[in-house]
Amino acid sequence: MENNSLQKPLIYSISLFLGLTLLGYFIFKGFKTFSDKDRIVTVKGLAEMNMVAKSSTISIDYSYSGDEIQDVIKSIEKKKKSIISFLTKSGFSSKDVKVSNLNVTDNEKYFENQWVDGKEVSVKIDRYVISQNIDIVFTDVKETEFKASELTLDLVSNDLTSKVNTNYSFPELNTIKPKLIAESTKNARISGEQFANDSQAKLGKIKTASQGQISIVGESYYGDESGENSEIPQEPYIRKARVVSTIVFFLE
């Protein structure tokens, strides 16, 4: 009987000790988890990728104006045939030459106000303006600018003066977007790990992440955040896609 009376308080004491120990451990873990949530690092990851044009176009623009629409149509039709004939003789394939529809502007008012010698005067203008363009499609994008310059001089020499422009077709952003985002996330993690090492900590899981807007930089083309600390491509057939992701990591 005496042994039983001594064992019960001992068991209660051990149980109480174990309970308090476990309670203390869980309280400690709770405080530690709570405090760890405040230990974060915010880093940015930059990713860039050059996009080479898939194809290019040389556009030949020309227009005529006058008060008699039929006369203007005849003039522009004649020039169109002359330019196409010249292109064919120069070796351009007919399947690569595309002619747009006529664009007709009807100036119902024959006069417009203009400033002449500091005075506003009423000046007569042609009623009809008709424009058209001929596009030549290229696949050798690197030669487009040279061909356009050469073509401009040839047209002038043959009394077919026109406005010559170049345009480039680039891959869709959606085709490279996943790779850009993955690269920016990878670079952000590298920066986060470097910071964690310097702080004698370990980089934990991602708390929040935000992907910046993809910007495009290139000759005569500037998107948002247009290339800070980035080299802008000088070739007209190359553009650079750029994205900056902001990621918040936990530190352990």
CATH at residue 164: 3.30.70.2970
Q: State the pairing for strand pair 55-66/119-124.
A: unpaired
197 versus 8: the higher-pLDDT residue is 197
84 versus 230: the higher-pLDDT residue is 84
CA distance 10 to 6: 7
Residue length of the chain: 252
Q: Same structural domain for residues 115 and 199?
A: no
- pLDDT value at position 127? 87
Q: Same structural domain for residues 73 and 156?
A: yes
Exposure class string for 158-186: b at 16+ Cβ within 10 A, else e? eebebebebebebeeeeebeeebbebbbe
CA distance 58 to 163: 10
Q: Give me the domain span that covers residue 8.
A: 1-38
Residue 138, helix vs strand vs coil: strand
Q: Does residue 215 contact residue 225 with C-beta atoms inside 8 Å? A: yes
Structurally, the chain folds into a number of domains equal to 3
Residue 195, helix vs strand vs coil: helix
How far, in Å, are 29, 55, 68, 214 from residue 230 at the CA level? 46, 25, 54, 14
Q: Same structural domain for residues 105 and 164?
A: yes
Q: Same structural domain for residues 149 and 62?
A: yes
**pLDDT for residue 135 is more than 90:** yes
Residue 66 structure tokens: 């006058």
CA distance 190 to 109: 66
pTM metric for this prediction: 0.67
How would residue 152 be classed by pLDDT, with cut points 50, 70 and 90?
Answer: very high
Which of 182, 177, 196 is closest to 43 using CA atoms? 196
HSE-up of residue 176 (Cα within 13 Å, Cβ side): 20
Domain boundary among 169, 198, 228: 169
CA distance 195 to 214: 26
**pLDDT for residue 34 is more than 50:** no
Cβ neighbours of residue 42 closer than 8 Å, sequence gap 6 or more: 246, 247, 248
CA distance 54 to 124: 46
Cβ neighbours of residue 116 closer than 8 Å, sequence gap 6 or more: 123
Q: Same structural domain for residues 140 and 44?
A: no
Q: Same structural domain for residues 2 and 48?
A: no
pLDDT per residue as tens digits for the range 168-181? 998 888 888 889 98
pLDDT per residue as tens digits for the range 73-126? 999 999 999 999 999 998 888 889 999 998 998 887 666 666 677 777 777 778
> CATH number for the domain including 222?
3.30.110.170
**pLDDT for residue 220 is more than 90:** no
**pLDDT for residue 35 is more than 50:** no
HSE-up of residue 86 (Cα within 13 Å, Cβ side): 20
For the chain, the average pLDDT equals 81
- pLDDT value at position 130? 94
